[in-house]
Amino acid sequence: MPRWTFEVTPDTLSQAEKDALAQAITENYVKVGIPAFLVNVFFHENRIGNFYSGGKTPPNTVFFVLDHAARRFPSEEARLAFINSINAIVEPILGPKGVKWEYNIYEHPADNWRVNGMIPPMQDEEIWQQWMNQNKAVKYGKYLEG
């Protein structure tokens, strides 16, 4: 976790643009210590007539949601800096296309989050670093049994 879910109309984003967004989003989290394999990006394409904004079915609109369970913003300054990083990722792709874009960030309780059935070891720096280095969930502690 995090998970970004984009709701778009077909052909709003090319495959290269989707690839660029996914890479930039992933890098944005890796630089703050979240393993790349935990960053998930989805693009849901909705046919015209299945996606409405303002009561109309627009051809050039993107709505996306960010779901976070890994961490909460430690301060208002950190929250605003993160929002700026979101804008810096999406604006260069969506802005020049004249796309209307809107997003929302949700912070979910970390204690409900599991990876491969395990509680992610965010409080254990050594194990977390293994997850970072191996770019996968590594069994640890009580999960080694069985």
Tens digit of each residue's pLDDT (9 = 90 or more) over 111-124: 899 999 999 998 89
Is the pLDDT assigned to residue 146 strictly greater than 70? no
Is the pLDDT assigned to residue 135 strictly greater than 70? yes
Q: Indicate the pairing of strand 3-8 with strand 61-68.
A: antiparallel
The mean pLDDT of the chain is 93
pLDDT at 144: 92
What gap in Å lies between CA 90 and CA 4, rounded to an integer?
A: 12
Length of the chain: 146
Same domain, 41 and 107: yes
Same domain, 105 and 58: yes
- Domains contained in the chain, number: 2
For 141, the domain range is: 117-146
Is the pLDDT assigned to residue 44 strictly greater than 70? yes
The per-residue pLDDT for range 84-103, each reduced to its tens digit, is 999 999 999 999 999 999 99
